Structure formats: C-alpha cells, structure tokens
Structure 1
Amino acid sequence: MEAKPPMPMRTVWRGAVSFGLVAVPVRLVAATEEHRGRFREMHSGCGGRIRHKRVCEVEGPQEEISYADVGRAVELPDGGLVPITDEDLERLPLPTRHVAEVLGFVPGTEIDPISYGRAYYAAPEGPAADRPYVLLTEVLARTGYVGICKIALRQRERLAVLRPRHGVLVLQTLLWSDEVREPGDLGPSVPVTDREMQVAERLLSELTGIEMQQLEDEYGHALEQLVAAKTVGSEVPELPTPQPAVDLLTALEQSVQAARRSRQ
C-alpha cells in the first residue's frame, strides 16, 4: 500500500510551561497519528450507504444544519441549554488554560503506563524560550525524572507528564487516578513450578530484542484480501486459532528450541 503523507503539525495549544519561577513559552502539536479505519456504514437490508445529518430538535429533520451554524452549550438539570462561545471559553477562570505549571518531579518509572494518554510535542515559542527549554529537556534526560503538571486542553483539565524525547519535550496527558479501573479478581491464582519459571525465563532471554521500526500494520492488507475475495465470490482461508498447551512445561521447552533455531 502506498504510504500517505503525514498530517500537518497543527498547533492545538499555546501557553507556557512553568517550573519554579521559570516560564517557557511553548506550543503543542500532536506527536502521534493513528492508522484510520476504512469502513463505511451501510444499510444491511438494501446495501445503501448510511448518511448522518445534523438536524435541529426545534426546526425538525426536514433541513440539515450547516456545520458553521452548530454551536456548543452546557445542559442544565432541567434540560435547558446555556450557549458557550469561544469568547466565553477564553474568559474561563482557569489558570491552566495558558500555563502548564509543573507541580513536582518524580522518577519516570513511577508512572504506571496504563495512565498514559495522548502525546504532544512541546515546541519552544520565540528566542527567549530556547535556553530554559534546552535546560529543562536536558536536566530531565540526565536525571530520569519527569514533570507532573495540569493543563486545560480540548475542553477539559487534564493531568500531564513532561518528559524528554530525542531532544524535544513531550507533554503526555495522564488519566486521573479515579479514571483507572482496578482489575479486581480478573487474574487467576494458580501455582506454577520452579522448573516452569526457569524455562519461561530462558524463553524470555531467547526472545529478548525486537526491531520495532520493522513492524507493520497488516490489518489493511488483510482487509484488501477479504474485499478482493468477496468481490469475486471466493472464500478467504481461515487462520488457525492457537490453543492452550496441554503440557505447559513441554510447550515452553519446545518454544525455547524454536526461538534458538530462528536466530541461527
């Protein structure tokens, strides 16, 4: 498949990162771009494409509302709507609208990866930002610490972490503690033998190291195969589903041998 050109880096936030009495003017741009799906909605009955229309509850569904005429509002308990404009949001009495104040620094290993959200590159804004920007980036890289801050972004206040990556500051949003679910009793509690643990550790050792840059998203190619088969009325061969090992220790030992052969 032909690679699509990268999306332009649009600024999503402008303000300053502050730590102590030092303020660093920055702008945020999205650091990641996920692969998008290719499906369209259709009517299962006749095969027609489904279209969604913006309609007004007051004026009825006869006329579609243009996107330019769509505003935002906050719903009251009685169902009434209070309109909120961009100008209103600019006057929102919230310090984190334009300042991401570092509340403290912690070792990066203390952040549970389950809490990580969207990542943004924080680029310095103006020559006055360069020296404090480089200083903050390098001191974080040298110490292994990350900065914890709050920022108002995309119509909500978020917890975020500041960390260095390739000489650039990354601001990555974090889930609030009450947004992370505990697993409860999802995990089984069965004993494993010392021998099974030893062989499993050997298997991990054999499988250590992977070239992440060489991994590709194969979903699109598989979907193309499925579409091509359905177009001509043929069937796509079904892939086998891995089954749990009957003898765990034997499966581990065979896996170690297979991993060694693949590296020769």
Structure 2
Amino acid sequence: MRSIWKGAITFGLVNVPVKVYSATEDHDVELHQVHDADGGRIRYQRRCEVCGKIVDYAHIDKAFTDGDKTVVITDADLKALPEERSREIDVVEFVPSGQLDPILFDRSYFLEPDGSSPKAYVLLLRTLEQTDRTAIVHFALRQKTRLAALRVRGGVLMLQTLLWDDEVRVAEFPALEQTVKISDRELDLSAALVDSFADDFTPGNYTDEYQAQLRRLIEEKLAKGDAIDTEATFGHSEEEAGGGEVLDLMEALRRSVDRSRSGRDEATAATTTAESATRATKKKSTARKQA
C-alpha cells in the first residue's frame, strides 16, 4: 500500500505522527461505454464553452456561480486556506464507542506510525482499547474539513470519516405514523423465524455474485472468440495518455507519412480535376466559335 497523506494525531501535549492509507479497495469489473454498431470507445471530452477547445486537467480550475457572477478558485487559492495547510488530526473528545450511529460512517483509513519510535502510537491504541472509547477527531483532507472517528481494529488505529449531522436525512414516512396492531402470536412467529437464521457474522462467507457472474461471462466470450481488438477499436486510453493520445516514435512517423501522402494525393486529385475542367471549358469554347 502507498500512503495518501501524512500528519499527526494531537491531544493535549501528545503528538503521534502517522501515515494514512486507504483501508478499502474496489474490485468491480471495469466496463467501458462503446458504440453498439461498431464497438468503438465512447469518450467524454472536457471542452471549454467559450473557446471550444478540449482542455487538459492541468488547465482546469474550480468555480462558484451564484447565478449572475462566477468566482474562479485556483489550486493556489485552496492551498492558501489555513485549514487546508494543517497537517494535524486534532482529538476533540473521547466518547463511548457504542454512541456512534453506523449511518454516520463514510470512508475508512488505516494509520501507520510514522517515525523511529511507535511508542506514542501504541500508547494511544492501548488506551482506546482499555477504556472502550472512540476518539472524535477533526482534520482537513483533500480540500475538505473532516470529522472522523479514531478507533482500534485488528491491532491498528483506524480513521473513519463521519458525515456531518446535517448530511443525514430525516426519514418521514406517513405510513409509519399510523397505529399498527401486532399480536403476540405474530411477534412469536417472527422471532422464531429470526432465530432460525441466527448466526455469527463472517464477512468472508459472502461474495459479490454479480461480479463473479460478470467475470465468468467475459471469460466465456473470450474463450468463444467473441471479442474485438482493443488497440484497434478503443485506441489509447485518455487516462494513460494524461489527457491526450500518446504515440511512440515509429507510430508518429507512420501517421505523419500517411497524412503527408494523403495530402499529396488530395492535392494531385484536385489539380487533375481542375485541369480536366479547364480542358472541357476550352473544348466548349472552341465548339461555339466553329459553330
């Protein structure tokens, strides 16, 4: 794994340098959009509405529009904000772990001790385990102020970003406002059904069946030869090219030669057409004079 950020957990006078790693990863099969008629890759272009040019990411800024006016915010503007410059993960409070509603959890990150001695890291880890507390922390990451839960998982400190309180919707369903009568017999039968499915949760027992079936479908198509040449049909991906097409030297020379030949052929054809038209005009003129 490669760290995505470095900082330090701070509470009181204690400072714990850490490296931050993404704790989860996506294993979904990546699918592209293609033209159903010929299998050609469908691409989206970042085109400027003013000049009409396709713009590289390096020349794209962010902006806010209030309807009448637009304010452009550059990367330099964002980096100049005091909150963005901070590399501290400030502990706000330590709360009972059971008080955190799972709906608040957003992204998960592993924290690795950064430095020659992990003593402060291990001290914080063991303290959280012993007190059964979760640290609520505040920090800035990727141009956003974050609230997060700092807890222990598998002998490692884990940081889980939290949604802000106003980001969680209130569920208001009229049907649930009605008075519903449930008999004891219905509750007993329902509880018996739950008991018949009761077990300990083991994540490894479950797999993404859709992704497994999709991979099997792809393998079967490849085995049957039901595929198209990727380079010829898709071309070079824009992600690999850094916003534009990348050609090796030989390919660039070949395309240049082809383009040059094509241009000469078009010029020759145009000249021939023009000469033919001139000769035809002269013949018509001569015929009129003789008449």
* Length-normalised TM-score, structure 2: 0.66
* Residue aligning to 2:138: 150
* Residue aligning to 2:30: 38
Q: Note the C-alpha offset of 1:81.
A: 4.0
Q: Note the C-alpha offset of 1:73.
A: 2.6
From 104, 109, 121, give the equivalent of 1:115: 104
Q: Note the C-alpha offset of 1:49.
A: 3.3
Q: Which amino acid aligns with 1:31?
A: A
Q: Note the C-alpha offset of 1:93.
A: 1.3
Q: Is 2:213 the partner of 1:222? A: yes
Deviations 1:82-110 (A, max 9, x none): 2422x444432127831111100111111
From 158, 176, 182, give the equivalent of 1:170: 158
> How many residues were matched structurally?
218
Cα RMSD between the aligned structures? 2.7
Deviations 1:7-55 (A, max 9, x none): xx23222111111221111121100012334332244677643211122
SS at match of 2:171: coil
CA distance in 1, matches of 2:174, 2:127: 40
* Residue aligning to 1:58: 50
Structure 1: where are the runs of 5+ without partners?
1-8, 233-264
Cα 1:76–1:183 change in 2 (3 A) is: closer
* Residue aligning to 1:197: 187
- Equivalent pair of 1:96/1:150 in contact (CA under 8 Å): no
SS at match of 1:33: coil
Deviations 1:55-84 (A, max 9, x none): 2223204xx3333x3332332534434242
CA distance in 1, matches of 2:158, 2:214: 34
CA distance in 2, matches of 1:44, 1:145: 55
Q: Is 2:61 the partner of 1:75? A: no
Cα 1:96–1:70 change in 2 (3 A) is: closer
Identity %: 39
Q: Which amino acid aligns with 1:152?
A: A
CA distance in 1, matches of 2:205, 2:127: 31
- Structure with the higher helix share, 1 or 2: 2
Q: Which amino acid aligns with 1:193?
A: S
CA distance in 1, matches of 2:182, 2:213: 38
* Length-normalised TM-score, structure 1: 0.72
CA distance in 2, matches of 1:196, 1:96: 59
Q: Which amino acid aligns with 2:169?
A: R
Cα 1:29–1:224 change in 2 (3 A) is: closer
Deviations 1:160-192 (A, max 9, x none): 000001111101000000000011116635322
* Residue aligning to 2:148: 160
SS at match of 2:30: coil
